[in-house]
Structure 1
Amino acid sequence: MGKDIEVAEHGRDYQDPPPVDFFDADELGSWSFYRALIAEFVATLLFLYITVLTVIGYKAQTDPDTNPDQCGGVGILGIAWAFGGMIFVLVYCTAGISGGHINPAVTFGLFLARKVSLVRAVMYMVAQCLGAICGVGLVKSFQKSYYIRYGGGANELAEGYNKGTGLGAEIIGTFVLVYTVFSATDPKRNARDSHVPVLAPLPIGFAVFMVHLATIPITGTGINPARSFGAAVIYGKEKAWDDQWIFWVGPFIGAAIAAFYHQYILRAAAVKALGSFRSNA
């Protein structure tokens, strides 16, 4: 068995990058590391700015007190497109610089799969959260009256749903997203389907779009702790903070499940490790 695995490893037409060091302090002395942090900060800022404005604009256009046309605005479909489309654009722009995470849950999943070090993972999350806060802060500074009147784009559990349902929606939604990230960036899939001209940001953006369609009525769709945290910090109302834990615990659990499923089930990392151990023994 070990010999068969060894032959397959040498005969394949792709190469998996080796696992990164768990803690790589040398990154702190590299300009490329800080350039990646800036890219994550700016991308998350732009993501929150565009998407929160879209949410507030939709609510303003469908407010029965100011606009009797309840069919106006972009609708839930338009909101989902705004989130998915911005992720497609921003991942395309930043993938070559920072990997285009723009989401602490994505970063966490890639950290568990040994794609990024602990230092990079923690600093990415900090940059993403700061970018989200600044993005929502820009929205509030430009449209303060609309921002306050229409909830600031903050994620909250909708009436009629219990916390368990909201948590489950965030877990499954983030699983779909992070699983798509792993699949779209898998070197084995890219080598096997090299004749199919598909950009990795495209399926990732579509995953965000589809998840928003399903979960906007439940939680407003978080699946991105930075997005939920930034909106809650600037909005500052109790309801947004009461439900905040759902938008961290759910996405991190979903990301962990996706990382395990892709790495140890689909890519059979556990079987390969066992085969290598038996071969060496």
Structure 2
Amino acid sequence: MKAYFAEFFGTFWLVLGGCGSAVLAAAFPELGIGFAGVALAFGLTVLTMAYAVGHISGAHFNPAVTVGLATAGRVKWNIVPGYIAAQVIGGAVGAGVLFMIASGKPDFVAGGFAANGFGEHSPGGYSMLSAIICEVVMTAMFLVVILGVTHKNAPAGFAPLAIGLALTLIHLISIPVTNTSVNPARATAAAIFSEPWAFQQLWVFWLAPIAGGILGALCHQLISKD
């Protein structure tokens, strides 16, 4: 149960910090954080919570990561449903807190609310195919990094730093394409408070990251000495 609470709080912080940087700060050009600032915010949420609760739950904070780690044999499949439930609920609560903060501004309009999308809802106007390829590949590479830096032969103590920086890099690449999901819990959380199109397109941001998580696990097994 402590592990489930750790996943709840970690995903809560990921959504509040990452999506919060987009909704509250990036919306004001004079603050100057832009795409790079949002990317860094997402990386910092994972880095900080991985150090804070990684020893409790493994710091997944992402259904695609949980499925990928189970595919690689790092965790047992019987924990997967509980972890995913905790992540989705934690993300939704984080989005709810963010909505309450953001709605305190008199002229606030939720709009896209940092939701993920493709086509006309992609920040750069990218197609559904581009979105799927991007989400699969980025999530796969995320799993390759996670599995590599948490390997028993990897330098101890640096895994959260590498994972946080990897997520930052992923956002720097893919924010223009999909607004970067690579995380079904994050995508669901934003969709709850966004416009109806976000739920209509949400299936892509469940299927593609989970497929990427499995692909990343399989790629790691090809190169790993386990």
Per-residue CA deviations over 1:48-97 (Å, capped at 9, x if unaligned) read 111121101234313xxxxxx5xx43111110100011111111111110
Q: TM-score, normalised by structure 2?
A: 0.91
The alpha-carbon distance between structure 1 residues 199 and 118, as it changes in their structure 2 partners (threshold 3 A), is: same
**Paired residue for 1:210?**
169
Q: Distance in 1 between matches of 2:108 and 2:168?
A: 23
- 8 Å CA contact 1:175–1:255 kept in 2: the answer is yes
The total of aligned residue pairs comes to: 220
Say whether 1:98 aligns with 2:57: yes
- 8 Å CA contact 1:60–1:150 kept in 2: the answer is no
Structure 2 letter corresponding to 1:183: G
Say whether 1:220 aligns with 2:179: yes
**Paired residue for 2:209?**
251
Q: Distance in 2 between matches of 1:226 and 1:206?
A: 20
Say whether 1:262 aligns with 2:223: no
Give the unaligned 5+ runs of structure 2: none
Per-residue CA deviations over 1:4-62 (Å, capped at 9, x if unaligned) read xxxxxxxxxxxxxxxxxxxxxxxxxxxxxx00000100111111111121101234313
Give the unaligned 5+ runs of structure 1: 1-33, 63-68, 270-281
Say whether 1:185 aligns with 2:150: yes
**Paired residue for 1:167?**
132
Q: TM-score, normalised by structure 1?
A: 0.74
Q: Distance in 2 between matches of 1:153 and 1:100?
A: 23
- 8 Å CA contact 2:71–2:217 kept in 1: the answer is yes
Structure showing greater radius of gyration is 1
Say whether 1:35 aligns with 2:2: yes
Say whether 1:55 aligns with 2:22: yes
Structure 2 letter corresponding to 1:98: S
**Alpha-carbon offset, residue 231 of structure 1:** 0.9
Structure 2 letter corresponding to 1:42: F
**Alpha-carbon offset, residue 153 of structure 1:** 1.6
Structure 1 letter corresponding to 2:109: I
Q: Distance in 1 between matches of 2:214 and 2:150?
A: 17
**Paired residue for 1:24?**
none
List aligned pairs for 1:78-93, cutoff 5 A. Answer: 78-93=37-52
**Alpha-carbon offset, residue 204 of structure 1:** 0.4
Q: 1:154 aligns with which of 115, 122, 125?
A: 115
Q: 2:188 aligns with which of 229, 241, 255?
A: 229
